[in-house]
Amino acid sequence: MIIQNDEKALELFKDSFFNILDKINDPLIFINKDGIVIYVNSAYEYQVGIPREKILYRNLKEKHPEDKLLKVLETGQPIKEYAHYNKTLGYDIIADFIPLKDAAGIVQGVIGVGNANVVYKINRHLQALVVGGEGKTRQRTINAKNLDAFKDIISDDPKMLHCLNIAASVARTDASVMLRGETGTGKELIADAIHRASNRSDSPFVEINCAAIPENLLESELFGYVSGAFTGARATGKKGKIEKAHNGTLFLDEIGDIPLGIQVKLLRFTQEKYIERLGETKKIPVNTRIISATNRNLEQMIQQRDFRIDLFYRLNVVPIFVPPLGERITDISLLSYHFLDHYTTKYNKKLSFTPDAIKQLQDYPWPGNVRELKNVVEQAVILCQTDKITISDLRLNFFDTTTANKPFTLHLGSAVEALEKKIITEALARTKNNKSRAIDYLGISRSAFYAKLKKYNIPDQ
């Protein structure tokens, strides 16, 4: 990029061009040849958390002499997609640094463009601390591979960012992870991201939905079989999902739906690290990491003897609780615009939301979570006949506007959970947050009570 001098460079950022740059989601900063900040956009202002008035005209050479902007200013060489810990910002970023040269090839300034993907905010918001030498603390950074693996997960909600931070932290280990949360919250995306950020990323990521396969077939799907193992078996036999995931990751979705008999065999595999195909006794060693997911209350299932406690502890080494979309208000508009961009491109339309439409989306309880939101936006894009998506274009089938904006759903599981959460919250309110009295009111065990607090993300204060 070539400019003539500072005055001409500044002209580029005036009037309408200022507004264009301020609408860019990526943080952008521009310094002149003296290392003085002469422009930042609103995304940069938000990411740093400091008003731009306090950033403009700051001399980086005086306060941040090691900043990458100054290195490019000195060398004249661009730096592309550089992942590093930025001392100016205080957290990890991935950014491009581009020198601005005049006609003679002399550097007159530098533009820095960061990646706005919300995963890069993990370190800023919720970066965990680890103990360093001699009892000191040091900041733990997340490397570029981890960040890239999580780039497709869009969120700006603190609870969700906390989940992503845990997921990125555990990714480089072989620990078993259990993803807990309602259907449609994105557990599959997180499981895939953990695999891609792991040392096993070059090996298979194998998924199986334990609820979608009949009980009499699930065992053969997991463990495989040999010729003649049962009626209808292939003559050549078949590898099971566990064996196919050798050196990689096995994602067991809907783990709560595995029958007890198969739970025993799965437990043996987690302990012994070998499998036996149906129809033979040969032990086949398999090196597979397990990530599981469920929307069921496994603690309650354990009490009812529907789920083995020993298997639970094997799979639940690192639990990650994924919050429902209804509790991530800031994410609703963020995801709505993300899906709008996707589907307007797909269907070759130019559309935007009216403020009332966004408010309606934010007020809706989203029993189907992100999956439902995605469907609602796609339907609105297809059916909208103007250039604005209004409330009338939103097909929010389970929202009853005649009953004081209370959610209504025909999905029995969602309705029961919503009522259960409301009753527990009311019991805590009536007892002024006295847990023992609330447990007496509810007539449930202490362990079940605390399991429900965790399940519904009710603050344990």
- The pLDDT tens digits for 325-375 are 988 888 898 899 989 999 999 999 999 999 889 888 988 889 889 999 999
Q: Compute the Cα dihedral for 292, 295, 296, 298 and give only its sign.
A: positive
- Higher pLDDT: 110 or 2? It is 110
pLDDT of 125 reads 39
Kindly report, residue by residue over 61-74, the tens digit of the pLDDT.
887 888 888 889 98
CB atoms within 10 A of CB 203: 17
Query: Is 209 a residue whose pLDDT tops 60?
Result: yes
Better pLDDT: 416 or 268: 268
Nearest-angstrom CA–CA distance, 415 and 36: 58
CB atoms within 10 A of CB 98: 18
Confidence class of residue 130 from pLDDT cuts 50, 70 and 90? very low
Level-2 CATH architecture, domain 412-455: Orthogonal Bundle (1.10)
Instruction: For the chain, give the percent of residues with pLDDT over 70.
Output: 78
CA nearest neighbour of 166 among 61, 158, 45 = 158
Classify domain 325-393 at the CATH topology level.
Helicase, Ruva Protein; domain 3 (1.10.8)
Phi, psi (rounded to 5 degrees) for 113: -120, 115
- Range in 56-70, 202-216, 308-322 the model is least confident about: 56-70
The residue that leads in pLDDT, 14 or 30, is 30
CATH number for the domain running over 6-116:
3.30.450.20
| 176-182+198-321: CATH topology | Rossmann fold (3.40.50)
pTM over 0.85: no
The residue extents of the domains of the chain are 6-116, 176-182+198-321, 325-393, 412-455
Q: What is the mean pLDDT of the chain?
A: 80
Tracing tokens 């008999």 back to the chain, one arrives at 261
Q: Which two tokens stand for residue 455?
A: 């399940």
Find the mean pLDDT for residues 105-111: 88
How far apart, in whole angstroms, are the C-alpha atoms of residue 418 and residue 389? 29
pLDDT tens profile 381-403: 999 999 999 998 998 864 443 33
Q: Is the pLDDT of residue 419 over 60?
A: yes
pLDDT at 56 over 50: yes
Residue 67 phi, psi dihedral angles, 5° rounding: -60, 140
6-116 and 176-182+198-321, same CATH topology = no
- Extract the tokens encoding 183: 């259907």
Token pair, residue 447, equals 């362990």
Give pLDDT, residue 252: 96
Distance CA 415, CA 413 (A): 5
